[in-house]
Amino acid sequence: MLFTVNFAWPRYLAWARVALAGAALLLAYVFLPSSSAPVFYGLLGAYLLGGLFLAFRGRSYTGMVGLFALFVDTVCFLIVAGTRVEPMLWLASALFLYLLTEALVFYSTVEVVVIAAVSAVFCAVLPDGSWVLERTVVISGALACAFAATMRRQKMEIARLKERAGEAERTAEKAGENERVRIASDFHDGPLQSFISLQMRLEILRKLFERDFDAGMQDLKQLQTLAQTQIRDLRTFLHSMRPVDVDGANLIATARRAAESFQKESGIPVTFLGTDSPLGLPQEMTLELLQMLREALHNVQKHAGATRVAVAMEKTDRGLEISIDDNGHGFGFAGTYTLEELELLRLGPASLKRRARSLNADLTLESRPGRGVGLKFRIPLQ
C-alpha cells in the first residue's frame, strides 16, 4: 500500500465508481446502437449494483476481495473503451484515471504497472481508437508508474530509517544498562563498602569505650579521619556521575578541565600534556572518551594510593592515543598486557575494558607493583 489509507479514501473511491457506472449507463442509453445495448446495459447494471454494495459497505477492501474489485474495474474500462464511440471514450479516459488512483492508493507498484501496460496494449490494438484515450492512457500510465516506483523507493527508505532508528534505540538502551551496571558496581566497591566499614568500626568503638575510654577516644579520632576520607571519596564518586560538559568537538580542552577538576577534588597533582587543537570527533565518542578518562582517574584515587598522575593525549596517524600513568602501589601482578590478554586472564578494571571494546580501541596496561600503573588507549579515527 503506497499511501496511508484513512477512513475517507475507501468511501470517496467507492462513490466515484458508482458515479462513473451511472454515467456509463446514461451515455450508453444515448449513444449506443440498440443492437448492442441490452448486453452493455446488463454488464454496466451489474457493475453499478456492485459499486453500490461496496459504497454502502463503507469499509476498506483488501486481499482477494480488493483485487477482484480492481479486476472488475479494469474490465469495465476495457468494455467502455471498446465501444469506439467518442463520448464513451471520454468516459473511458475518466475510468482509466480512476483505475490508476485506486491502484496507487490501495495497491503496490506491480498492480499500477500491470494496469498501465494492459490498458496501453489494448488501446494500441483497438481499431479507430480515440487520440484522447490513447494519450491519456500512455501519459498518465507512465506518470503513475514513475510515481509508484518513487513511492516504493521512499517506503523502502523509510523502512530502512526505522530499522536504523530501532538499532540506535537498542544500542542506547544497552549502553544505558551497561552504565547502570557500572554505577552499581562502583557504588558497591566504593561508598557502600566504606559505609559498611564505618558501621563495623562504630560497633568496635562502642565495645572499646566500655573497656578503655582513652583507647576509645584515640580510635574515635581515627574514625573521624576515616569518615572525612569517605566523604571525599563519595564527593568524587558523585562528581564522576555528573554529565560531561563537552566543549564542542574540542576533546582535549574539555579533558584538561576534567583533569584540573580531579586535582581540585582529590588533592592529587595531575600533569596534563596535549594541544588544544579541535579533533572534530562525534559528540557520542567525545562523551565516551571523557567518561573513560574520569573513570580511570577515579580508580587512581580510589585504589592506587598515588601522589601524582600524568595524563597525555595525542593525535597520530594511527588514531587518538590517551595515556594515564600514576605512581601508586599498582596491581597485584606485574607486566604489560593487551586488552585480549587482560580478558583472557581476567585481570584489570572491567569497566575500562568494556569501554575500550565499545570504542573499538586498543588497550595496553602496564602494572609496576609498588611503582604505579600505566594505561594506554589507542582509538581509531576515521
Is 93 a residue whose pLDDT tops 80? Answer: yes
Cell for 254? 574539555
Query: What was the pLDDT predicted at 194?
Result: 67
pLDDT above 70 covers a percentage of the chain that reads: 81
**β-pair type (270-273, 309-316):** parallel
Query: What was the pLDDT predicted at 50?
Result: 81
The DSSP string of 126-190 is -TT--HHHHHHHHHHHHHHHHHHHHHHHHHHHHHHHHHHHHHHHHHHHHHHHHHHHHHHHHHIII
Q: Compute CA distances 88 → 17, 78, 115, whole Å.
A: 16, 11, 19
Is 3 a residue whose pLDDT tops 60? Answer: no
Instruction: Check if the beta carbon of residue 293 is closer than 8 Å to that of residue 255.
Output: yes
- pLDDT category of residue 126 using cuts at 50, 70 and 90: confident
Query: What was the pLDDT predicted at 129?
Result: 57
Query: What was the pLDDT predicted at 12?
Result: 81
Task: Pick the range with the lowest mean pLDDT from 18-32, 167-181, 261-275, 363-377.
Answer: 167-181
- pLDDT category of residue 2 using cuts at 50, 70 and 90: very low
- 3-state DSSP: the chain helix, strand, coil percent, rounded to 5? 70, 10, 20
Average pLDDT over residues 121-144: 78
Q: Which domains does the chain have, with CATH numbers?
A: 8-164 (no CATH), 248-382 (3.30.565.10)
Question: What mean pLDDT value characterizes the chain?
Answer: 78
- Phi-psi domain of 381 (left: phi exceeds 0; alpha: psi -120 through 50; beta: other): beta
pLDDT above 90 covers a percentage of the chain that reads: 0
Query: What was the pLDDT predicted at 248?
Result: 44
- Phi then psi dihedrals of residue 324, to 5 deg: -130, 115
Instruction: Check if the beta carbon of residue 145 is closer than 8 Å to that of residue 99.
Output: no
Nearest-angstrom CA–CA distance, 10 and 16: 10
Helix (H) or strand (E) holding 319: strand 319-326
Query: What was the pLDDT predicted at 171?
Result: 77
Is 304 a residue whose pLDDT tops 60? Answer: yes
Query: What was the pLDDT predicted at 5?
Result: 44
Instruction: Check if the beta carbon of residue 374 is closer than 8 Å to that of residue 325.
Output: yes
Residue-wise pLDDT for 55-74, tens only, equals 787 665 666 777 888 888 88
Task: Pick the range with the lowest mean pLDDT from 18-27, 232-241, 362-371.
Answer: 232-241
Which of 14-18, 230-234, 247-251 tops mean pLDDT?
Answer: 14-18
Query: What was the pLDDT predicted at 263?
Result: 84
Residue-wise pLDDT for 197-211, tens only, equals 777 777 777 777 777
- Tally of CB atoms within 10 A around 215: 12
Is 4 a residue whose pLDDT tops 50? Answer: no
Residue 295, classified by CB atoms within 10 Å of its CB into exposed (0-12), middle (13-18) or buried (19+), is middle
Query: What was the pLDDT predicted at 277?
Result: 64
Q: In what order do the strands lie in the sheet with 309-316?
A: 270-273, 309-316, 319-326, 372-379, 362-368, 335-338
* CA 327 to chain CA centroid, nearest Å: 43
Rg (Cα) of the chain, in Å, rounded?
A: 39
- pLDDT category of residue 242 using cuts at 50, 70 and 90: low
* CA 326 to chain CA centroid, nearest Å: 39
Average pLDDT over residues 230-242: 63
Q: Compute CA distances 199 → 35, 133, 190, 195, whole Å.
A: 109, 94, 14, 6
Q: pTM to 2 decimals? A: 0.45
Instruction: Check if the beta carbon of residue 274 is closer than 8 Å to that of residue 313.
Output: yes
Which of 120, 89, 99 minimizes the C-alpha distance to 23? 89
* CA 38 to chain CA centroid, nearest Å: 62
Average pLDDT over residues 320-336: 86
Which of 8, 17, 7, 6 minimizes the C-alpha distance to 102? 17
Task: Pick the range with the lowest mean pLDDT from 20-29, 190-199, 216-225, 248-257.
Answer: 190-199
Instruction: Check if the beta carbon of residue 379 is closer than 8 Å to that of residue 315.
Output: no
- Where would I find the H helices in 267-337? 283-299
Give the CA angle between residues 380, 288, 167 to the nearest 5°: 85
Query: What was the pLDDT predicted at 278?
Result: 65
Better-scored residue on pLDDT, 195 or 258: 258
